[in-house]
Structure 1
């Protein structure tokens, strides 16, 4: 672990490789698991505000789940998260003709319907952050469904922190990311 500003960062994001391999995993991170995508407080308002613009991009099952449960829910851990369809996939998940899960929020963004891409937790994945009173923890979340992404990342030699560069900059800023790159360069030399 090392510190950058008010963050405590795991070396695992420097030491492990990762590049999403949707051909292999079919977007399983949007489908697997027991909980929805973690949401930051300000993201709950965004989901409510953009719902009508996003709705045309969603599946009927997702719309039904959102209209029954709400645009977001409070999870068992007391944190905000996206609702699920039948305790399975994220209500905002959509599927390609090939059965690949993708984000309906991102589809709306890419079509110009909204100005918000998706929750930062999804954008950052496989990096997970957790807010504490004095600092933010920045960790690698290893999940076996992402083994193909780890394999592809190793083949392409793309460390996690480079794969999620834009998301890390969005979350923490360019200066923070520059400091992360300095730590990575120091670690590579040692």
Structure 2
């Protein structure tokens, strides 16, 4: 672990390689698990505001859950998260013709319908952020469904922090990311 400003960062972020391999995992991170994607307080309002523009990109099952429970829900841990269909699939997921889970919010963003890409927790994945009173923990979330992403990242020699560069800048700012790059360079020296 090392500290950058008010963040404590796991060395795995700079040591481990990772590149999403959707052809192998089919977007399993959006449909497996017991909880929705973490949503920050400020993102709850955004989800409500963009819902009407995102709705055409969603499945009927997702729409039904969102309209019954809301654009976001309080999880068992007391934190905000996206609602789930059937207790596992994110309500904002749709499936491509080949069965790959995709984000309806991101699809609406790519189509120019909304100006917000998706919850920052999704954009950061496999990085997970936990905010504490004084510090923010930045960790690598290892999940076996992402083993193909680890293999692809290793073959392409892309460390996690480079794979999620845009998301890290979105979350922490460009100056923070430049500091992270410097730490990674120093860490890589023999």
Verify same fold: TM over 0.5.
yes
TM range (shorter): over 0.9
Q: Does 1:56 align with 2:61?
A: no
For residues 168-179 of structure 1, the aligned pairs below 5 Å read 168-179=168-179
Q: Does 1:78 align with 2:69?
A: no
1:97-122 deviations in Å (ceiling 9; x for gaps): 00000100000000011000000000
Q: 1:47 maps to what in 2?
A: 47
Q: 1:154 maps to what in 2?
A: 154
Q: State the shift of 1:180 in Å.
A: 0.2
TM-score normalised to structure 1 length: 0.99
For residues 1-190 of structure 1, the aligned pairs below 5 Å read 1-190=1-190
Distance 2:119 2:8 in 1: 21
Structure 1 stretches lacking a partner, 5+ long: none
TM-score normalised to structure 2 length: 0.99
Structure 2 stretches lacking a partner, 5+ long: none
Give the 4+ runs in structure 1 shifted more than 6 A.
none
Distance 2:162 2:36 in 1: 25
Distance 2:61 2:182 in 1: 46
Q: State the shift of 1:9 in Å.
A: 0.3
Q: State the shift of 1:69 in Å.
A: 1.0
Which SS does the other structure have where 1:116 is aligned?
Answer: coil
